[in-house]
A and B are shown apart, each in its own frame.
Chain A
Amino acid sequence: MARSNRKIFKYLIPTFIILLYVGYAGIKVVYANEPVKETQQNVENVVADSSVNTAETSAEHKPAEEHKEAKLDAGKLIMEHIADAHDWHIATIGHNHISIPLPVIIKDANGLHVFSSSHLHEGEVYQGYKIEEGKIIAENGNDDFYDLSITKNVAAMFIAVFALLWIMLSIAGSYKRNGIVAPKGIQSFVEPLIFFIRDEVAIPSIGKKYEKYLPYLLTIFFFIFFNNIFGLIPFFPGGANVTGNISITMILALFTFAITSFSAKKEYWIHIINTPGVPWWLKFPVPLMPIVELIGVFSKPFVLMVRLFANITAGHIIMLGFFSLIFIFAEMNTGLGFGVSIFSVAFTTFMSFLELLVAFLQAYVFTLLSALYFGMAIEEHHSEEHH
């Protein structure tokens, strides 16, 4: 077993490095062939697997601007990648952007509008809407509508969720089928994680009543873990910054908050209103401690939200920053770009491994903190001893 594992690693790591290199160097060569003629926007489109900035790409054909904006705006490029998009950019070969158009769903006063984002390509207006700066806006400036589009992040989340459901349900099936036997295949990868969440997270944090919360903890752990891992894959099924999006982490944190609040025992609320072990003058005329405790109640999920968002986003920013270095240096000199690319790829490879760790760690931290909050909410009578 150990030997075959080593064999896999022997091939996997070089393949990964080569893919990274070929992927980005290939784009770089495309760019290097037309170093000056390209406008800034086109460079971005070549580099980033993010949205086609349609409004500005149209400007690419104006010859007057060609030489003016040859500089790469790394910050803008990175931000475009980090943010959401209405189509899924896969690659750019020459001037052809290969991207998957995603459905646009808009709810406004006239009802529901559902159409493909390809209608909004290059700043076109369709059914009164257009894309500007990656966001859908109404042509008439009216912002009384809800954009419920399946964006890149939503689609990426669906893919990750589909993979998650498929794997977990097939594992559940094999448990049912095989009865009580030693785990096999993917089962033996997932099972230690389940044990880990149960024995190291749920039981120590929550205590005896852990079983009620275990399904939720397992779900958030694997949801975050899968989305993190998919976010690290640099091409199509992954690459989106799902768990690095504040909306996603906000909903996750809200779920934790809701479960904490709804399962909280009387002691939990009493603890907040009348914190034991605190002098009365901190509570009575001015309810200082209750206010502080109440802020704590809301800051806990807030911190959960920000931590996951910031960690994953930072990872993506660092990776893209390294790759942007290649193009920044290539603008000065093509050879310099090649030289820097070696270091960039090496660093990004290193960062990829670090991000693999972070992907696990952040999923773990989110789960652990959720479990701790549940534990606090259902704790009984022990509070006096702790203060």
Chain B
Amino acid sequence: MELVKPGIGLLFWMTITFSIVLYILTKFAWKPILNSIRERESSINEAINAADNARKQMESLKADNEKLLAQARAERERMLKEANEMKDSIIAQAKRSADEEGRKIITNAKDSIEREKLNALNELKTQVAVLSVDMAEKILRKKMDDRTQQEAFVNDNLKSIKLN
């Protein structure tokens, strides 16, 4: 059949043409095109990688920042707490020492009051004794003017003293 019988002319021209096309395209078209495509691909990959790295760096930076911030916040909390504690302890101590001081003063006062009271009492006692001795002397003096009376008194006293 005519249709499936290859013609020599067409075979000839096709071989030549196709060889030339293959050569020219390989050398002047595919090589530069494929090279550029490869270069572009690698540059795109690099760019993507770089962007990825930058993003990662940003993330780590952000994480660092957050960590620092958290640290700072914790520090502040701690300091506040410490300050509070210190304040409380100072107040408590002051209170305690004031109490003690007061108590001490009061005790001292009480002591001195007691002492003074005792002193006064002693004084009073002495005075009273002196006075009463004086009075008794005077009374005795008056009463003992006569001899009988003196004798009566001595006897009385002697009687009250029981000799064993």
Contact B24 A165 (CB under 8 A): yes
Q: Distance (Å) between the CB of A78 and the closest chain B CB?
A: 10
Asked if A347 lies at the interface with its beta carbon under 8 angstroms from chain B, I say: no
Residues of chain B with a CB closer than 8 A to A175's CB: 32-33, 36-37
Contact A246 B5 (CB under 8 A): yes
Main secondary structure on B side of the interface with A: helix
Of the listed stretches B6-14, B105-113, B120-128, B140-148, name the one at the interface; the rest are far from the partner chain: B6-14
B residues 75-99 near A (Cβ < 8 Å) are none
Asked if A46 lies at the interface with its beta carbon under 8 angstroms from chain B, I say: no
Contact A251 B5 (CB under 8 A): no
**Total number of A residues with any Cβ neighbor in B under 8 Å:** 48
Contact with B along A151-169 (1 / 0, CB 8 A): 1011001100100110011
B residues 39-56 near A (Cβ < 8 Å) are 39-40, 43
Q: Distance (Å) between the CB of B45 and the closest chain A CB?
A: 12
Asked if A363 lies at the interface with its beta carbon under 8 angstroms from chain B, I say: no
Of the listed stretches A11-19, A47-55, A214-222, name the one at the interface; the rest are far from the partner chain: A214-222
Of the listed stretches B15-23, B60-68, B155-163, name the one at the interface; the rest are far from the partner chain: B15-23
Asked if A191 lies at the interface with its beta carbon under 8 angstroms from chain B, I say: yes
Whether A157 touches B28, Cβ cut-off 8 Å, given contacts A83-B2, A151-B10, A180-B39, is no
Contact B26 A215 (CB under 8 A): yes
Residues of chain A with a CB closer than 8 A to B29's CB: 165, 168-169, 171-172
Q: What are the 10 closest A-B residue pairs judged by CB atoms, nearest first?
A: A247-B10, A168-B29, A175-B36, A215-B26, A247-B6, A215-B30, A251-B14, A172-B29, A172-B32, A154-B13
- Write 24 A-B pairs (CB below 8 A) sorted by A numbering: A105-B9, A146-B8, A148-B13, A149-B9, A151-B9, A154-B14, A164-B21, A164-B25, A165-B25, A168-B25, A168-B33, A175-B32, A175-B36, A176-B36, A214-B30, A215-B25, A215-B26, A215-B30, A216-B26, A247-B7, A247-B11, A247-B14, A250-B6, A251-B14
